[in-house]
Amino acid sequence: MLLRGTGVGRGIAIGPVVRMPDPLSEPDEKRRTTDADSEYSRARAALTTVAADLADRAALAGGEAEGVIHAQAMMTQDTALLDDVRSRIEAGSTAERAVFEAFHSVRQLLLSMGGSPADRAVDVADVSQRVIAQLRGVAPPGVPNVDHPFVLLASDLAPSDAAMLDIGQVLGLVTLGGGPTSHTAILARSKGIVAVVGVADAAGIDDGATVLLDAGDGTVTVAPTPEEIAASRERLLARRVAVPVGPGTLADGTGIELLANIGSPDEAEAALRQGAEGIGLFRTEFLFFGARTAPTVAEQQAVYRRLFAACEGKRVVVRTLDAGSDKPLAFLGTGVEENPALGVRGIRALRAHESVLRDQLTALAAADAETDADVWVMAPMVADADETGYFVALARSLGIRVAGVMAEVPSCALMAGQVLGIADFVSIGTNDLTQYTLAADRRLAAVAGYSDPWHPAVLRLVKMLGDAGTQSGRPVGVCGEAAADPMLAVVLVGLGISSLSMAPSALDAVRTQLRQHTLEHARALAVAALGASTAAEARARVSEQS
């Protein structure tokens, strides 16, 4: 039986299926038998324990996962939620029931809002399950602990589970929901785990059944025959071409910088060992998530200094705080928004709280002055030349030498000439650019089919930015997940992209693929993709000509 989804990476995995366990049962509606204060103390203790556990998981996870899990931990200390739990206990509920109902009400509210808030409902449910498990004295549902390698099958994974996958045990991952730019897919790619996501028909796979995952084809074969296994291994070998480690270059010697996306200073050295020529995206959110107040200039400077020292002589592109939408922070106070993905986020949130931005830029400039890294700083979610001018002027006034912006919304691409007349560089975040171009939340399973950076509409916006970069003589790079797709990376170069930044685990595959094509051929492939009408057709056209 052959099932189809969206592959993450280009590898294959073969092994027995282990299904994620079912959630804990809903607590009974029985009346409590203890006094309200004692029952509330039980609830608070469980919430505090879960918060500490999630904080530990965040620290171990690092990278993009760290901020996401910290946001989960913050839920357990939310004042409104704690008040709700107390009021339900005072009305007669047990601690288990009060926690369940309080979290359930938040989850239902998020689901009713749709978009990015609806996706956070998974995180809320995960925290609720962990607190209830703590109250019951049982292990929370999560990735099974088995004594043999396996392929994990799940409806979807909470960030705390996805981030903690043991790559020594988990051969591959199949999820019913999610798309190529969902948190699950991004975390799987960063860990080098073969995954096929959005496989809606996978629910019928039996526990223990042998499956063959081919991420390159986006397929799951149940009970594969020896011939099917042999064929998949031949396809995998065909995708691999021996190539020496070194800088990114095309077959004709054209240089394409290959950089790494990281989320903490501790990841820098490992990324450089894996062949990164520098850091193309340093996410600074981990410094801010979980905090009630913004970190001081001195606290930030110490972290940035450590990162820059580890990257002596190499480029480090730092993204200023990207908050708002599904990543709210207490000290930014954006308030409740009906559609936060289209609200006060990125540069808008920083502009409304300029002191936070000023402190971050001051800390970055000071750390840069103390080290020998080539530091570039960019603002997220910039829409036009006005926002570009605001950020670049402020950054330069505070000592930033190279100031640029991220192109994540279509308007930035449409105004590319003006933007690149001001900014020193542009870095394209293809994850958000894709979701805004196609009006499809990249983490919502129901529209996962739209969240594909191969779509010609997205590629045309990339070309606008690439052309503007060529005309202005200023670099335009890509730091979204599209850069980790080896064949799409070639197309991006053909569209005028000069650097590609990705999860370190993807560097070898992208470097190998680039060296099989000249710049002329990359441009021809780009023309073929731009002439398609769908993402699938773009892929097919490029595949035929590569």
Contact assessment for residue 506 and residue 206, using Cβ atoms and an 8 Å cutoff: no
Rounded alpha-carbon distances, angstroms, from residue 131 to 53, 100, 203, 289: 11, 9, 27, 21
Q: Computed over its alpha carbons, how large is the radius of gyration of the chain?
A: 24
8-state DSSP, 515: T
Neighbours of 110 (CB within 10 A): 21
Give residues with Cβ within 8 angstroms of 425, minimum separation 6. Answer: 376, 378, 402, 404, 474, 475, 476, 477
Nearest-angstrom CA–CA distance, 167 and 61: 13
3-state SS assignment for residue 333: coil
Q: Which residues are catalytic?
A: 183, 479
Residue written as token pair 């197309």? 491
Write down the H helix ranges in 167-243: 183-191, 226-239
Nearest-angstrom CA–CA distance, 478 and 407: 9
Task: Report which of 76, 64, 53 is spatially closest to residue 159, judged by C-alpha positions.
Answer: 64
3-state SS assignment for residue 378: strand
Nearest-angstrom CA–CA distance, 18 and 349: 43
Type of residue at 475: P
